[in-house]
Chain A
Amino acid sequence: QQQVKQSPQSLIVQKGGISIINCAYENTAFDYFPWYQQFPGKGPALLIAIRPDVSEKKEGRFTISFNKSAKQFSLHIMDSQPGDSATYFCAARSGGYQKVTFGIGTKLQVIP
């Protein structure tokens, strides 16, 4: 049973466009929602994270939008660049020992 549902699995965006990745969850015990970025051949690295009492968090070209009532959150990448081409994972933490549940990942390709 997938606790964090992520879509789409793959995404192609033109350079300069907006990339949008969506995630949904059911467990209301989740208390933190990080996003990780993974380049080919590397381990994932934290990109940005949000708490459920915040509706939006922005860091540079990356923005998380959070809808607590709908139990959905999304990552927006503005002015997408070829260097953003990577796999993105949403995740959710249920407190305690920092254990997180990951979505299945979205492979983003930004074409020139």
Chain B
Amino acid sequence: NAGVTQTPKFQVLKTGQSMTLQCAQDMNHNSMYWYRQDPGMGLRLIYYSASEGTTDKGEVPNGYNVSRLNKREFSLRLESAAPSQTSVYFCASSSRGGFSYNEQFFGPGTRLTVL
């Protein structure tokens, strides 16, 4: 049981290049999330997917696109990378719905540098 896995772990891009960050979970969770973490800004939600087939914008969606490929996989794409997108990116997943709080399980992160 690997939990949430992310690839790659590190990436360096030049301004204008594109790339896709991959995320997969093996916990049969319905909901998946993409966050970015920046010093002094905390964790900010980029996009989330409440269930397979649906995606919604979070707090900072500009410059990103997502695909919920199936229940397990949720990818984040940067079409034309900018230095402002230099950050650590985390994918997370949780079960959906219910009154109680459903813990979000985070992956190990992808450290992206855009030159």
Contacts and interface: CB of A to CB of B under 8 A. Distances in A.
A84 B78 CA distance: 35
* Contact-size category for A: 20 to 34
A43 B92 contact: yes
Contact of B48 (A32, A93, A97): A97
Nearest to B41: A104
B41 to A, nearest CB: 6
Given A9-B40, A46-B103, A89-B42, A97 B97 contact: yes
Interface in B1-40: 4, 31, 33, 35, 40
A6 interface: yes
A89 B43 contact: yes
A44 B96 contact: no
Interface residues of B, number: 30
Given A97-B50, A97-B97, A102 B4 contact: no
B101 A93 contact: yes
Contacts of B100: 32
A44 B43 contact: yes
B104 A46 contact: yes
Contacts of A61: none
B74 interface: no
Interface of A: 6, 9, 32, 34, 41-46, 49, 51, 89, 93, 96-105
16 contacts: A6-B42, A43-B106, A43-B109, A46-B104, A89-B42, A93-B101, A97-B96, A97-B97, A98-B97, A98-B101, A99-B45, A100-B104, A102-B35, A102-B42, A103-B42, A104-B41
What are the 10 closest A-B residue pairs judged by CB atoms, nearest first? A43-B106, A104-B42, A97-B50, A32-B101, A102-B43, A46-B103, A102-B42, A98-B94, A49-B101, A98-B102
